[in-house]
Structure 1
Amino acid sequence: MLGLIRFALALAVLLSHVPGFDWALNPGVVAVICFYCISGYLMRCSYQRFTRLAQTPVRDFIVDRVLKLFPQYLVVLAITVGLLWLWGASPGFWLMNQQLSPLKLLWNLLLLPANYVFEPLVISELLPHPLVPPAWSLATEFHFYLLLPLLYRWRSLFMVMLLATLAVQIFGFVHESTRFNSDNLGYRYIFGVLPVFLMGYLYADDSGGRRPLAVVLWLLYLGLAGCAFTDTLIHQQRAREVLLGASVALPLLATTMHLRGHAWPGRIKALDERLGNLAYPIFITHCLGFFIIEHVTGMPVRASASFVLCAILVCLLLSMPLEILQRRLERARIALRGFASMKTDQRLDSDTPARINPAPSA
């Protein structure tokens, strides 16, 4: 049921960007943290397969991740740039109230720099937001992809990085200033949020005996969440949201992985796969969808039943062609690396390179 979970998390991010909802806790932050933990799990399993089945695992893994993320992202970026040039900046939706420039476009094309729109590390040409606003989190995730081969290869480096970044994240939770706080150190930057990825990574390492360490890390997050929600030492709203996400993420992942081994009917598996494939397109298109609705219909971007329903429908319409594009590119991606993606019902630690039209989930 991982596809359904990822689809629901993408919808949570969509809802979090609709202005006017009076959220006690931002569901988008909780969802992104859950995404990071799931990514840590899946990428550890994926890279392990590259080390077993690829001749040049580091290079092939990075190329594979580029082919997975970039085609759909570049299509959405191109449409966004075209509409901003044609229609101008959004008057009513702050995330699309942007001006175009050649340098800004270049930074967005590279994706990795899109993380640097938050103090104190800012690329001013990217401000106020990436052209595809959720791209900052894709950039954070790509930082993790670049680190993963090193962390997999050297366990001593893994522990140093885990402890160092955990210290940075906890400092961000406790310390509050305009330059250093729970938003940038606890949520945005890889050198603060890396432990969330590594919690999922460690949970995937059952055969290596490090899964208990994932549970220890989860218990630490649970304790910190207790401090945050009782206003003890941790007082920032963003810290509460991140810690809630971290507290939910591992049980959600564990439950999902347990259900993954269940003998689900074929139709349920197919639906789960399709929903999972739509999660990433929804994640990257929803701000564009809001912009289109605002301009075409004149409907204000705000928390109303009519707008939310329209937004979900438009995002699905935008996402379906992107999902078809990715499925068509999947054959080239598999041919290039020489083995297939893990099927939704395949053991994640399997050495068997599935060959027949697999699910493009990892």
Structure 2
Amino acid sequence: MLVGIIRFILAISVVLAHAGPLLGNSLVGGQLAVQAFYIISGFYMALILNEKYVSGNRGYKIFIVNRALRLFPIYWFILFATLLYSLAIGFNNNGAFFPLLDIYIHHFSELGWLASGLLIFSNFFILFQDLILFLGVHIDTGQLFFTSDFLNTSPILHKFVLIPQAWTLSLELLFYLIAPFIVRKKLMVIISLLLISAFIKYTLHIWGLEKDPWSYRFFPAELMFFLLGTLAYRVIFIKIAGKRQYKILSLSMLTLLLSATFFYNQIALPGKSALYLTLIFLTLPFAFTFTKNISLDRYIGELSYPIYISHMLVLTVCYALHLESLGTISLFAVILSILLSIFMNETIGKRIERIRQSRIPG
């Protein structure tokens, strides 16, 4: 019933969104889990920028580099593993099929310099993977064009992305770049930006742009969730921090959130996705106050990112090994993603974390 466990369960929700339900339960689904992560990210960025990092250019640089160190080493490990796996399978079958790279073999030469450059850059540096979801390519000229429905383009540009779920990291990076200029501002500035973002999301709904990729991949409309997390810190957390009289309330809210997460599909309430995100917003500051020093919970929570970034590769390998014949593929995907994440956290994450902490002033 702790924050780290909630983050862990949200990551598993994304795994199940791609692998299928486990024991009939898919938890909160992929989209809702991602938007909940946006809120958590907004809260945590507000917390560390107001309490850990000094202001000024040096503080900004340290913050950005530290966030990059959190994301990129594990991302690059999975990117390298993806390339290695695809090449190994391809050479093993005498070049008949290279999983995840076949689209490059058949179509990359047809792309213009801008499209090919964008794909190489975004695959390696993550940024603009969200933008790719709003682009298509003219196969006769190789030139890019904007589209409101990337699934109706051919070839689908996003299929060139080797870690397809990493588009959310691009949104995270965009928020990191602007967060130091927002989260310390006056409350009315933050609220105004949140309302502008909410208005953009509502306008997209009015225009009928509410399906993929507009549903939760358009940064101006998703900024509201990051800012909700920032508000949770500014409005609630700083008022309750260190006050033990809220402990029972915090545990009660965490219990409610955990129950809502596990039994989300059984809840028959109108607007339940909005209610769930509201519960995340309200619970987060209380939960963090009383669980931030629990090392086991922190360790479990730190597995959420490796699970998220590795699970599509794990799922690809599971299907290649025909593990579905042994039972539900979801079970194997979850277990193997967790084991791989523990390995990455122990061999990469902990070493990088020591470097990150050594760079923080004071």
User: TM-score scaled to structure 2, two decimals?
Assistant: 0.70
Partner AA of 1:163 in structure 2: L
Three-state SS of the structure 2 residue aligned to 1:187 is coil
Contact 1:140 1:190 in 2 (8 A): yes
| Aligned length in residues | 296
Of 157, 166, 169, the residue aligned with 2:201 is 169
Q: CA deviation at 1:82?
A: 1.6
Contact 1:37 1:197 in 2 (8 A): yes
Q: Distance in 2 between matches of 1:252 and 1:61?
A: 25
Is the counterpart of residue 282 in structure 1 residue 284 in structure 2? no
Structure 1 pair 20/259, CA: closer, same or farther in 2 (3 Å)?
closer
Contact 1:293 1:311 in 2 (8 A): yes
Q: Distance in 2 between matches of 1:331 and 1:10?
A: 24
Structure 1 pair 249/293, CA: closer, same or farther in 2 (3 Å)?
same
CA deviation map 1:36-57 (0-9, x unaligned): 1111111111111245478722
CA deviation map 1:195-226 (0-9, x unaligned): 01111111100389999xxxxxxxxxxxxxxx
Q: Distance in 2 between matches of 1:298 and 1:24?
A: 21
Three-state SS of the structure 1 residue aligned to 2:6 is helix
Q: CA deviation at 1:109?
A: 0.6
Partner AA of 2:309 in structure 1: I
Q: Distance in 1 between matches of 2:322 and 2:165?
A: 24
Name the residue aligned to 2:60: 58
Contact 1:166 1:192 in 2 (8 A): yes
Structure 1 pair 245/136, CA: closer, same or farther in 2 (3 Å)?
farther
Contact 2:86 2:101 in 1 (8 A): no
Contact 2:40 2:284 in 1 (8 A): no
Contact 1:39 1:197 in 2 (8 A): yes
Unaligned stretches of 5+ residues in structure 2 = 92-98, 109-115, 136-145, 241-270
Is the counterpart of residue 298 in structure 1 residue 322 in structure 2? yes
Contact 1:115 1:139 in 2 (8 A): yes
User: TM-score scaled to structure 1, two decimals?
Assistant: 0.70
Q: Distance in 2 between matches of 1:208 and 1:260?
A: 8
CA deviation map 1:281-333 (0-9, x unaligned): 000011000111222x22359xx953111111211221112111111111111
Identical positions, percent: 26
Is the counterpart of residue 141 in structure 1 residue 148 in structure 2? no
Q: CA deviation at 1:130?
A: 2.4
Structure 1 pair 209/169, CA: closer, same or farther in 2 (3 Å)?
farther
Q: Distance in 1 between matches of 2:18 and 2:25?
A: 11
1:114-263 superposed matches below 5 A: 114-119=129-134, 121=146, 126-128=157-159, 130-152=161-183, 154-155=185-186, 158-176=190-208, 180-206=209-235, 244-262=272-290
Contact 2:233 2:285 in 1 (8 A): no
Q: Distance in 2 between matches of 1:320 and 1:4?
A: 15
Of 72, 75, 91, the residue aligned with 1:73 is 75
Name the residue aligned to 1:271: 296
Partner AA of 2:331 in structure 1: L
Q: CA deviation at 1:126?
A: 4.8
Contact 2:306 2:345 in 1 (8 A): yes
Is the counterpart of residue 99 in structure 1 residue 81 in structure 2? no
Q: Distance in 1 between matches of 2:52 and 2:172?
A: 18
Between structure 1 and structure 2, the one with the greater Rg is: 2
Partner AA of 1:40 in structure 2: G
Q: Distance in 2 between matches of 1:153 and 1:203?
A: 13
Q: Distance in 1 between matches of 2:324 and 2:291?
A: 45
CA RMSD of aligned residues (A): 3.6
Q: Distance in 2 between matches of 1:252 and 1:152?
A: 19
Is the counterpart of residue 5 in structure 1 residue 34 in structure 2? no
Contact 1:185 1:191 in 2 (8 A): no
Flag the structure with more relative contact order, 1 or 2, with Cα contacts below 8 A and sequence separation at least 6: 2
Structure 1 pair 329/189, CA: closer, same or farther in 2 (3 Å)?
same
Which 10-residue stretch deviates more, 132-141 or 79-88? 79-88
Q: Distance in 2 between matches of 1:245 and 1:202?
A: 19
CA deviation map 1:65-120 (0-9, x unaligned): 1011111111111111221222259xxxxx95853467434321110111123235
Which 10-residue stretch deviates more, 98-107 or 129-138? 98-107
Name the residue aligned to 2:138: none
Contact 1:50 1:60 in 2 (8 A): no
Which 10-residue stretch deviates more, 248-257 or 191-200? 248-257
Name the residue aligned to 1:86: 88
Name the residue aligned to 2:332: 310
Name the residue aligned to 2:265: none
Three-state SS of the structure 1 residue aligned to 2:128 is helix
Structure 1 pair 263/149, CA: closer, same or farther in 2 (3 Å)?
closer
